């Protein structure tokens, strides 16, 4: 099995983005699955183009994207992406769409098709705060959450995709009042457990599938 894990580049004047930093800390193999890591730009459209190219090149079974949701205290696994760009701030190339669909011919939303509850449970069992989130917002994170599901539905059938939001790192919070944070090593460990849950789920599905013959 192959899993493509993407992380955003630094954004909004910050010199570092824990999203891509935590992805870099992942091992190259998790439970016999190959982990392919990709940095994507915090830009509407281009982020999806880069992921589309990576899917074409690597043919992964699962695409898992990682972004930061500063202010959330735990690792959150997103349930759904919605077909809208509604940006309160510009992206890294100055785009700031307002209430525009991501894909004009797409449905209003897609649920992700990775095992969100099992991923959360696996992290919590291992002492890492995690929960299901019902909104990825309406900025680039949702753009990628929805957009990759659109790609897997329309262009790459059979592939799975989903999105995980991570908290601020502690060093980002030394000058922010009352903002929760999580150690980068723990974030990376959490992502590893979440990916283990995806792999175990895929394996179970295949075994169950095989058993019906």
Give yes or no: 141 in active site: yes
Backbone angles phi, psi at 49, to 5 degrees: -60, -45
Stretch that binds a copy of itself, among 27-35, 46-54, 78-86, 197-205 (CB under 8 A): 78-86
Which of residues 179 and 199 has its CB atom nearest to a copy of itself in the complex? Answer: 179
Tell me, residue by residue from 107 to 146, as one string, x for binding to a copy of itself by CB under 8 A and - for no binding.
xxxxx-----x-----xxx-xxxxx--xx-xx--------
Long-range contacts of 49-53 (CB under 8 A, 24+ apart): 50/6, 51/4, 51/6, 51/144, 51/147, 51/148, 51/151, 52/151, 52/155
CB contact at 8 A, 64 and 198: yes
Closest CB 145 distance from a copy of itself, rounded Å: 12
Nearer CB in complex with a copy of itself: 12/185: 185
Write down the least CB distance from residue 189 to a copy of itself, Å: 10
Phi, psi of 39 (to 5 degrees): -90, 130
Q: Which residues pair with 37 in a beta bridge?
A: 5
Catalytic one among 44, 165, 192, 196?
165
Q: How many degrees, rounded to 5, is the angle at CA 168 between CA 166 and CA 173? A: 170
Residues serving a catalytic function are 78, 141, 165
Which residues in this chain contact a copy of itself in the complex, by CB under 8 A?
73-74, 79-80, 82-84, 99, 107-111, 117, 123-125, 127-131, 134-135, 137-138, 170-171, 173-183, 185-186
């Amino acid at each position: 099995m192959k899993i493509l894990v993407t992380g955003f580049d630094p954004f909004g004047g910050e010199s570092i983005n824990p999203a891509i930093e935590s992805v870099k800390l992942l091992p190259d193999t998790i439970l016999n699955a190959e982990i392919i890591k990709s940095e994507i730009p915090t830009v509407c459209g281009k982020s999806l183009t880069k992921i589309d190219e990576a899917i074409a090149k690597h043919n992964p079974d699962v695409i898992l994207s990682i972004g930061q949701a500063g202010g959330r205290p735990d690792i959150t696994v997103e349930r759904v992406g919605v077909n809208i760009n509604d940006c309160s701030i510009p992206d890294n190339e100055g785009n700031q769409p307002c209430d525009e669909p991501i894909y004009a011919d797409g449905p209003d939303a897609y649920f992700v098709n990775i095992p969100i509850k099992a991923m959360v449970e696996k992290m919590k069992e291992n002492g890492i705060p995690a929960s299901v989130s019902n909104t990825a917002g309406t900025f680039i994170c949702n753009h990628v959450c929805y957009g990759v599901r659109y790609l897997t539905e329309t262009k790459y059938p059979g592939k799975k995709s989903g999105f995980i939001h991570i908290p601020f790192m502690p060093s980002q919070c030394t000058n922010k009042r009352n903002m929760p944070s999580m150690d980068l090593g723990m974030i990376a460990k959490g992502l590893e457990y979440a990916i283990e849950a995806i792999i175990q789920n895929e394996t179970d599905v295949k075994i169950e599938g095989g058993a019906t013959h």
